[in-house]
Structure 1
Amino acid sequence: MIVLAGRHPRETDALAQRFGMSHKCLIPLAGRPLVAHVLQTAAIHPAIESLAICVEPEAFEGLFDVLSQLPGRGIAKLVEARENLVDSVLAAAHGWEGPLLVTTADHALLTPASIDAMIAALDTSDAAFAMAPRDAVLAVHPQHAHPFLEFSDGAYASCNLYAAADPEALRAVEVFRGGGRFAGNALGVLRAFGFINLVMLRLRANSLTAATERVSRRIGQRLQPVLMLDGSQALDVDDSHTHAAAETLLAERSAPPHPTVYRTQHRS
């Protein structure tokens, strides 16, 4: 698993600034550094053999402390972040020949079930990406502020979780070259979709599945959307509101279950 933990070189992250940290990935969340939550989930998952955390060197020391407290199974390495998302992913994947997952350090609510779903998708695809339906997202986070991608069959939020059958399948991330989110990178979208497909996407003429099939034909890879019915999988910790929401959801997960009360029925 590749965990992207770098920062934009020309922007100041408000959360990092609020907590006096150089990087958002090191801010506290529910008693632990933010990145520790996603690393812990990955480290204990039986299918994850190694971790590559991509970040600027000035954050290495803080991440060494986080890694030292993870379970001892598997290998973890720190990789210097590059100038853009694509080159960072490719650098982190260097030397790896098997299937891989890519996510972000602020994916604190990542679950083992989500990892399982992404791995299963690679049985029938070269690469997969996770999306959550709008209703599922709003059910757990009514104040969700990131834009939803609109398709003919509904609206979806990106979960910042991707899978590739092997490093060669990382060609799909070329759509992100130049930086920026998928929805805001018009030139990248144009390269991947082609002009007609882009117009159809903007007009919401395609379902999510149909749009993915068009992109698959365009880039010569079998892509697959993976629907996450757990809306928390689309929640990135990137401001004060999502930070508070993530703390609440993590607390709910760790709370002991309510005891079951059994009633005794007396028959007359």
Structure 2
Amino acid sequence: MSCFSGKFAAIVLAGDRGPDDPVASASGVGCKALVPVAGRPMVLRVLDALDASPIIGPRILCGCSSRLLGSSAELDGLVADGRVSWVENESSPSLSARAALASVPADQPALVTTADHALLTPPMVDHFCGRAAESGCDVVAGLARADMVMAAFPEGRRTITRLADGGYCGCNLFAFLTPRARNAAIFWRRVEEQRKHPLKIVRTLGLLSVLRYLCGRLTLEQGLDRFSALMDARAGAVWMPDAEAAVDVDKLEDLRLVESILARQAQRKQP
């Protein structure tokens, strides 16, 4: 990896549930990242958006080589000639993120996103990374307001986290801005290991914070403060102005939604 260039390194997580993934299976490909969207594999759409952003430097793809490589000559060429670096994925998203982050100099900021972020655009990347860099935080997540997302795509079902000051949707955009930010990946792994044990999660997050959330009294700022204390890294959020930033392809209905969004966008561009 080259020395710090003043730009973000971009990490694309391309792990999936294997050939049994319903989106991959329905599309006849061996890996969800290779599912074509508007005729182009999702992972290449994401890499295209990152390549077109002036704020992005090296691009790193983290996935399963036996399923992802050898099926797309274009992707194989990007990896073979070094335009995209390759990191083999681990057994979970948090471990994969840690493995990929280990290939980035500790003083270089890193953007982490996913290969199924099929609607990602250079302006989204620029907005998120630019605002994250100005935040003064160690680690930052991209969020979209739930009312904006649901108004834009009432036909889609999105995961909404409802807090005292409103609901939001995640955008699969994370910025690791400082060496201390690597603590967030370690904390992510702790939560991942405890996901099937609610009492352990309560102990990790703190009973008071959990009760506030369950009673609808936890604000986003309070939640970020709590995570900051647990991770020993200051956590922040960037509000994304585009509802499309909150849409990824996790289910077949998501794939249909993304295809319809791109079709509408193409129609609007026609003279």
Inter-partner Cα distance in structure 2 for 1:183 and 1:137: 27
Per the alignment, do residues 95 and 4 of structure 1 end up closer, same or farther by CA in structure 2, a change over 3 Å counting? closer
RMSD of aligned Cα (Å):
2.8
Name 1:101's counterpart in structure 2. Answer: 111
Q: TM-score, normalised by structure 2?
A: 0.83
Which whole-Å CA distance do the structure 2 matches of 1:65 and 1:12 have between them?
24
Counterpart Cα distance in 2 of 1:27 and 1:180: 26
Instruction: Give the SS at the match of 2:71.
Output: helix
Q: Which structure's CA Rg is the greater one?
A: 1
Which amino acid in structure 2 is aligned with residue 113 of structure 1? P
Distance in 2 between residues matched to 1:184 and 1:26, nearest whole Å: 30
Equivalent in the alignment of 2:126:
116
1:166 and 2:174 matched: no
Q: What residue is the counterpart of 1:6 in the other structure? A: 15
Higher mean displacement: 59-68 or 204-213: 59-68
Identity of aligned residues (%): 30
How far apart, CA to CA, are the structure 2 residues paired with 1:191 and 1:30? 45
Partner of 2:218 in structure 1? 206
Q: Distance in 2 between matches of 1:191 and 1:64?
A: 48
Residue in structure 2 matching 1:55, options 40, 63, 70: 63
Residue 67 of structure 1 and its aligned partner are, at CA, apart by 5.7
Taking a change above 3 Å as real, the CA distance of residues 179 and 205 of structure 1, as seen in their structure-2 partners, is closer
| Offset of residue 176 of structure 1 | 3.0
Q: Which moved more, 1:104-113 or 1:210-219?
A: 210-219
After TM superposition, the score normalised by the length of structure 1 is 0.84
* SS of alignment partner, residue 252 of structure 1: helix
1:156 aligns with 2:168: yes
Check conservation: 1:159, 1:234, Cα contact below 8 A.
Answer: yes
Q: Give the number of equivalent residue pairs.
A: 256
Change (3 A) 1:63 1:3: farther
Cα displacement string for residues 82-137 of structure 1 (whole angstroms, at most 9, x for unaligned residues): 01111101111223110001111110111223222322223311110011111111
The residue type paired with residue 242 of structure 1 is D
Match of 2:83 in 1: 75
2:205 is equivalent to residue 193 of structure 1? yes
Structure 2: runs of 5 or more not aligned: 1-9
Distance 1:130 1:138, change over 3 A: same
Aligned to 2:74: 65
- Residue in 2 aligned with 1:135? 147
Corresponding residue of 1:38: 46
Q: Whole-Å Cα distance in 1 between the matches of residues 199 and 17 of structure 2?
A: 20
* Amino acid in structure 2 at the alignment position of 1:62: S
Q: Paired residue for 1:19?
A: 27
Distance 1:185 1:67 in 2: 40
Please give the per-residue CA displacement for 1:215-258, whole angstroms capped at 9, x wherever unaligned. 21332221111112311111111222211211122233344547
Matched to 1:66, the amino acid is L
Consecutive unaligned residues of structure 1, counting only runs of 5 or more, are 260-268
- Cα distance change, pair 247–20 in 1 and its aligned pair in 2 (3 A): same
